């Protein structure tokens, strides 16, 4: 959800980071994962430079909104955890539920808008493959944030 762009490549079956990955900074690792994702998109979907640029533009246009929703969801998880730990009141529970619904609704609208824009660039089958690749990418980023990246 908080990822900026697209999916990553299939995860290599290794027990830990490659020696190169251990020496990389977080930013370098993110850049390498993004580059790998783009290479895979070009390869798997047969995209040319112009099409890849158009897809990149769509993704870039969504970054700020995705980041905002991600931050709101994180804050809401913290609030919910505190609610459960301290036994909050009904008004707080209603506020948490209301904010959860609002975030879900905004995420759905963002996804629909993005999908609509991507369908102007790619076929429906390509959009589905793109979404699967992006899910892989997002999972890879989550693993990296947890310190368990499986090769680049």
In this prediction the pTM is 0.69
Q: What is the separation, in whole angstroms, between the first and last Cα of the chain?
A: 21
- Of 48 and 152, the one with more pLDDT: 48
What are the tens digits of pLDDT across the range 77-116?
999 999 999 988 999 999 999 999 999 999 999 999 999 9
- What count of other Cβ atoms lies within 10 Å of the Cβ of residue 115? 15
Output DSSP code: residue 10: P
What CA–CA distance (Å, rounded) separates 110 from 127? 15
Q: What pLDDT sits at residue 26? A: 76
Sorted by where each begins, the domain ranges of the chain are 21-145
Q: Are 109 and 65 in contact (CB under 8 A)?
A: no
Q: Is the dihedral of CA 142, 147, 149, 152 positive or negative?
A: positive
8 Å CB contact between 7 and 132:
yes
pLDDT tens digit string along 20-74? 555 678 788 888 888 888 888 889 899 888 999 999 999 999 999 999 999 999 9
Assigned token pair, 9: 């490549």
What is the maximal distance between C-alpha atoms in the chain?
A: 55
pLDDT in tens, 124-148: 999 999 999 989 888 888 887 777 5
């Amino acid at each position: 959800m908080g990822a900026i762009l697209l999916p990553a490549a299939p995860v290599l079956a290794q027990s830990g980071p490659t020696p190169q990955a251990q020496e990389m900074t977080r930013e370098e690792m993110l850049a390498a994962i993004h580059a790998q994702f783009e290479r895979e998109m070009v390869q798997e979907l047969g995209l040319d430079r112009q099409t890849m640029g158009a897809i990149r533009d769509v993704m870039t246009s969504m970054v700020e909104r995705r980041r905002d929703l991600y931050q709101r969801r994180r804050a809401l998880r913290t609030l919910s955890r505190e609610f459960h730990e301290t036994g909050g009141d009904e008004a707080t529970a209603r506020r948490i539920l209301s904010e959860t619904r609002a975030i879900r609704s905004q995420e759905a609208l963002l996804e629909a808008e993005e999908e609509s824009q991507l369908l102007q660039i790619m076929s429906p089958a390509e959009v589905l493959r793109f979404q699967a690749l992006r899910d892989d990418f997002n999972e890879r980023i989550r693993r990296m944030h947890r310190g368990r990246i499986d090769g680049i």
